[in-house]
Structure 1
Amino acid sequence: MSQDAKPLAGLHALVTGGGHGIGAAIAAELAGLGADLTLTGRNRTALRATAEALGREHGTKARVQEFDLASSDAIAARLAEAAGRLGPVAILVNNAGVAPAAALETTDLAHWRGTFDVNLFAAVLCCKAVLPDMRSMAFGRIVNIASTAGLIAYAGIPAYVASKHALIGFTRALALDLAKTQITVNAVCPGYADTEMAKAAIANLTRAGRTEGEARALLTRRNPQGQLVAPQEVARAVGWLCLPGSAAMTGQAIAVAGGEVM
């Protein structure tokens, strides 16, 4: 395949939460574009399976870095280890996240801190860790996976909604700070996607007495297209933002949600 067909060849991309769902789809998209991959997460089995599949299908280097992003003290050291194996991180995709459902009256501060630790502060610390190398390379692509919940509100998940709004605010602020460099910072905001998280939500609804069709309809009713978003569609948006030719795209929050947010 030509260099033009592999525009990310020779670049190291790190994807948090890269073992399954949207993260695995993003890893596959970037590998298809030629990038070498580090996949981070807590499930070593899933990470290894995804990394091995990327190597077989794309011939890319794919390494696994197992750690918990809630352990903020470990983030800089783990990213330095990843850079030591595959070179400086040129592409960072902050995909890992948690989505606890709880009304405000039932939560405590630990619930809010736990949500923000993963959904916001881990992304902040990952960005801080990779920026020196990106500045030295005069190139960098940072993509934060937010949510339509970072653009509009949903009932019953106030900590999640607040954390994703904060992540988009951070994205925009960092993009402005880096506007004079060759480093771009964007957010991609999926709607309800066809992932294990959605399947778990459907299962919970069926246990509560809904049929599977009714449960799925509850998740898709806000999507004008009437369907769950495919992880690969989210991944393609991320891949495009990471291309060298997408340098003018920065500070954006792009919804991939079938028209739910316009």
Structure 2
Amino acid sequence: MTTSTNRPATPHAVVTGAAGGIGAAIARQLSADGYTVTLLGRTTVALHDLAGSIGADCRVAVCDVADSEAVRETFAALPPVHVLVNNAGQAESAPVSRTTDELWERMLAVNLSGTFFCTRAVVEGMRHAGWGRVVNVASTAGQRGYAYVAAYTAAKHGVVGFTRSLALEVASAGVTVNAVCPGYTDTDMLARSVANIVEKTGRSEADARAQLAALNPQRRFITPHDVAAAVSWLCSDGAASITGQAISVSGGEVM
């Protein structure tokens, strides 16, 4: 049986969508945990600024995860990847009747296909090494429904299903595959959601934030650090028996 003795002395972690918010918090946490970290995303300046603040064991890879060929070329140029955190994502709202083909396809491309492309690029290397961690940052939208974000919700449900299927494929190889599912998290994505509510309803920003925070039984927003801490644990040897799970980081919103 494969055990944690196959874990590299200094594992290499790739975090997608790493320039800010949850991705940046995860990158900082994994660096503090002793990983070398590659920050992957599209915003070159922000990625380099973050890499400079993290330190010498941090590199940058500029790539659009929704571009299959770009993902293949980018990962081929990287050192072996032992930990992959698929964090890149995008959320847009519209009722189903006004969800265009382009919006639907964009939500699937960024949130679901990007997760698949990046994972496909590394999973055989992990299997052959006898150790690996894949953590997909999904959402509570992958565990329940929300009105007006059907495309995003469908994509995140897809991420959870993909997580469960892949976990079974690699379970005997020392590789775990899990999803973390944050509720409303205090990031730029939340700020855009609040602005959208303000624009469409005329409510104040404070009222809009209170409306979203009320979905959390703890009556607060999740922080990027909350999510990063869950990812850190899933990448540890202490979570070696945890695979195929969709762990809700939502203050009890989803149980």
TM-score bracket for the superposition, by shorter chain length: over 0.9
**Residue 243 (structure 1) shift:** 0.8
Label 1:9 to 1:230 Cα distance change in 2 as closer, same or farther (>3 A): farther
Q: Does 1:132 align with 2:128?
A: no
The CA deviation string for residues 191-228 of structure 1, in whole angstroms up to 9 with x for no partner, is 00010111222233344532222011111111001111
Name the counterpart of 2:32: 32
Give 1:157-172 correspondences, 5 Å limit: 157-172=149-164
Name the counterpart of 2:23: 23
Label 1:246 to 1:191 Cα distance change in 2 as closer, same or farther (>3 A): same
The CA deviation string for residues 102-142 of structure 1, in whole angstroms up to 9 with x for no partner, is 11111232222211111111111111110121122111000
Distance 2:171 2:250 in 1: 27
Name the counterpart of 2:115: 123
Distance 2:207 2:8 in 1: 42
Q: Does 1:108 align with 2:104?
A: no
The CA deviation string for residues 221-248 of structure 1, in whole angstroms up to 9 with x for no partner, is 1100111101000000000000123110
Residue 68 (structure 1) aligned to one of 25, 45, 64: 64
Distance 1:9 1:217 in 2: 45
Distance 1:92 1:49 in 2: 21
Give 1:185-200 correspondences, 5 Å limit: 185-200=177-192
Residue 151 (structure 1) aligned to one of 132, 143, 151: 143
Give 1:87-98 correspondences, 5 Å limit: 88-98=80-90
1:14 partner SS: strand
Distance 1:67 1:165 in 2: 24
Distance 1:207 1:182 in 2: 49
CA contact (8 A) 1:9 1:35 kept: no
Name the amino acid aligned to 1:75. V
For structure 1, which segment, 178-187 or 211-220, has the greater mean C-alpha deviation from structure 2 after superposition?
211-220
CA contact (8 A) 1:8 1:34 kept: no
Question: What is the TM-score with the length of structure 2 in the denominator?
Answer: 0.93
Name the counterpart of 2:170: 178
Name the counterpart of 1:78: 74
Question: What is the TM-score with the length of structure 1 in the denominator?
Answer: 0.91
Name the counterpart of 1:228: 221
Residue 254 (structure 1) aligned to one of 244, 247, 255: 247
1:225 partner SS: coil
Distance 1:153 1:212 in 2: 24
**Residue 176 (structure 1) shift:** 0.7
Distance 2:28 2:162 in 1: 26
**Residue 8 (structure 1) shift:** 7.6
Distance 2:110 2:194 in 1: 24
**Residue 81 (structure 1) shift:** 1.3
Distance 2:110 2:198 in 1: 29
Distance 1:218 1:196 in 2: 17
- Report the identity percentage: 48
What 5-or-longer segments of structure 2 have no aligned partner? 1-6
Name the amino acid aligned to 1:197. M
Name the counterpart of 1:3: none
2:82 partner SS: strand
What 5-or-longer segments of structure 1 have no aligned partner? 1-6
For structure 1, which segment, 229-238 or 103-112, has the greater mean C-alpha deviation from structure 2 after superposition?
103-112
CA contact (8 A) 2:127 2:170 kept: no
Residue 213 (structure 1) aligned to one of 190, 206, 214: 206
Name the amino acid aligned to 1:158. A
Q: CA RMSD in A?
A: 1.4
Aligned residues: 248
Name the amino acid aligned to 1:54. I
Name the counterpart of 1:45: 45
